[in-house]
Amino acid sequence: MSELGGGLVAFGRQLLGQRTVARLRLRRFTRELVGIRGGGKRGQADQLAREATQAQASYRALSEQLSAKRDEAATELGHRVTAAMQELAMAGGRLEIALLPLDPPGSHGLESVEFQVASHPSQPLGPLARVASGGELSRIALAIQVVTSEVGNVPTLIFDEVDAGIGGTVAATVGRLLQTLGVRRQVLCVTHLPQVAAFADAHFRVVKEGDEATVRTSVDSLGAADRIEEMARMLAGSAITAKTRAHAKELLAQHRRK
């Protein structure tokens, strides 16, 4: 994805700039043409009409190049994200990127882009924002970020409910993917699963307290001993034993970034 993605980003930015110039020229020519025709200046009107036609042709040619690049990248991204979904408790699920024609074309090209997903083999594809649950949405977002990590430039990513409805091996996979993302950017994740939390470089405990009148939320950075204690609490609840602490310590050491 890095070669294709990097090329697409650079090519897309270049085409967007060129196409925007062409479209602005077309609009200007059209406005001037209307004014000149109203004033009876036929020669200037004919010249502007020719320039407007040229601008339209330039816009169309550049937009078609961008559409071809989008189609190529959409196919590869859909295949790669679909493959990643199989490891994230969405076996048989798939993601496709649909290019929906615009009439008339817009400033960003000849089509709009829609992410469509089916989280189960028996489900039809539907818009990602409407058919995915909170947990599925977080995991699909995680898959997309991992696949595009070499070309993305968002400095901080926040995941919530990414562990909803999962556990065991899948939870460990989520933790590993989050840790992989953390190599190139800052990743914040709200989790209740020790299998996910164990992969983190740092931990914070979030506590909400209150009464009938007020609610307070506190966030505390955890040191080495507190990390083990909190991990043990996530593993065993309130009944923390020496064995639980040993397990928590082992889990943290096992998944520490090499």
Which pLDDT value is given to residue 30? 65
Which segments of the chain have a pLDDT < 70? 1-43
237: left (phi over 0), alpha (psi -120 to 50) or beta: left
Which pLDDT value is given to residue 35? 59
Q: What are phi and psi of 237, to 5 degrees?
A: 75, -135
Question: What pLDDT digit, counting tens, does each position of 106-145 carry?
Answer: 888 899 999 999 988 888 999 998 888 888 888 898 898 8
Position 97 in a domain: no
Nearest to 110 by CA among 74, 69, 67, 70: 67
Position 188 in a domain: yes
Position 256 in a domain: yes
Question: What pLDDT digit, counting tens, does each position of 81-106 carry?
Answer: 999 999 888 889 999 999 999 998 88
Whole-model pTM over 0.85? no
Position 6 in a domain: no
Position 192 in a domain: yes
Q: How many domains does the chain have?
A: 1
The Cβ of residue 123 has, within 10 Å, a number of other Cβ atoms equal to 13
Position 58 in a domain: no
Which pLDDT value is given to residue 154? 84
Which pLDDT value is given to residue 21? 60
Range of the domain at 237: 154-258
Position 1 in a domain: no
Position 42 in a domain: no
Which pLDDT value is given to residue 8? 44
Which pLDDT value is given to residue 3? 44
